[in-house]
Amino acid sequence: MVSERLTAHFVDTGWLAERLGNPLVRIVDCRYYFDGRDGYEEYRKGHIPGARYLDWTVVTVDPHDPVAYRLAPSQYIAGRLGELGIGDEHLIVGYDDEGGHFVARLWLALAYYGKADRLRILEGGWTRWVDEGRSTATDEPVWPRAAFHLPSTPVHPELVADARDVLEALASGKSVVLDVRRLSEYTGEEVRARHGGHVPGARHWFWQRSLDWDGLRMFRPPEEVRAGLAELGVTTSTPVITYCHGGVRAAHAALALARAGFRHVRVYVGSWAEWGNRDDLPRALGLPHGDGRES
């Protein structure tokens, strides 16, 4: 059985269509881009009726942390959700257009603080909604400020890993470190920090492999995800630490693994934004499976 901390709840477009206008349902559009497009502007062009825009960098990221993109304290996250008009009584439905890529960061934050049960992830997101010809809107609803509460300390601290946890995993050999970035980032050809490369011994598994990326960006069947990871020697009982550059793709990978029945998954939220900017941590270059160079 998948542990409670890794619980994720998915809904389909028909389920959501039946609940449009329900005052206890808060729909959040989490679209975000790294290609120059603006997620909020895309939202303004069209979105699911009744949805408000949620920027994961505003809601879930600690603005005072020297390491980019790490999770914010619970009271900060709760405050941002309350400002949006999301309260304890509301069920949140999140979507984007990349198979839950950015909704996954909200899921990670809520799961970390024990509130994953307040979130529903729309399977297929905006991509599927539009493909099915469902109604869209351009108006931006106004929700009254609400009170959303999170505990002061994490309920599931074991869901998140730090650099020391990764080093311990490497030393013990009991956990698999999974790099879910592009292969060019893994090899060091593409450098986005002070140093390029990857965590020594990390296995490469691109995060989009869990999705039908060229179709409606739905999650692939759990058995396909399990089969793909089995090729790397990773089973549902293998302890796994995922990382990327800023902890977003890593969160999505953890979500995909949870959906596929993996029981022991942690997200290294600091990811390469931390590891690649520290001179005291080991790095490797080159291809996976022993073809890299230690540095």
| 260-281 confidence digits (pLDDT tens) | 999 999 999 999 999 999 999 9
- pTM: predicted TM-score of the whole model, two decimal places: 0.94
Average pLDDT in the chain: 94
What would the pLDDT profile of 67-95 be if each residue is shown by its tens digit? 889 999 999 999 999 999 999 999 999 99
Mean pLDDT, to the nearest integer, of 192-219? 95
DSSP line for 234-289: --TTS-EEEE-SSSSHHHHHHHHHHHTT---EEEESSHHHHHTT-TTS--EES-TT
pLDDT of residue 288: 72
Structure tokens at 90: 């509301």
Separation CA 104–CA 122 (nearest Å) = 11
What would the pLDDT profile of 229-264 be if each residue is shown by its tens digit? 999 999 999 999 999 999 999 999 999 999 999 999
Could you tell me which of 204, 208, 109 has the C-alpha nearest to residue 159? 109
Structure tokens at 78: 């709760």
pLDDT of residue 215: 87
Separation CA 59–CA 71 (nearest Å) = 9
Mean pLDDT, to the nearest integer, of 162-188? 97
CATH 3.40.250.10 residue ranges in the chain? 4-131, 157-294
Q: What would the CATH number be for the domain defined by 157-294? A: 3.40.250.10
Mean pLDDT, to the nearest integer, of 55-64? 96
187 against 214, higher pLDDT: 187
CATH 3.40.1280.10 fits 4-131, yes or no: no
Strand intervals (E) in 2-90: 10-11, 25-29, 52-53
Mean pLDDT, to the nearest integer, of 19-23? 98
Residue 182: φ, ψ to 5°: -65, 150
3-state secondary structure 156-190: CHHHEECHHHHHHHHHHCCCEEEECCCHHHHHCCC
pLDDT of residue 6: 64
Separation CA 9–CA 259 (nearest Å) = 9
pLDDT of residue 7: 72
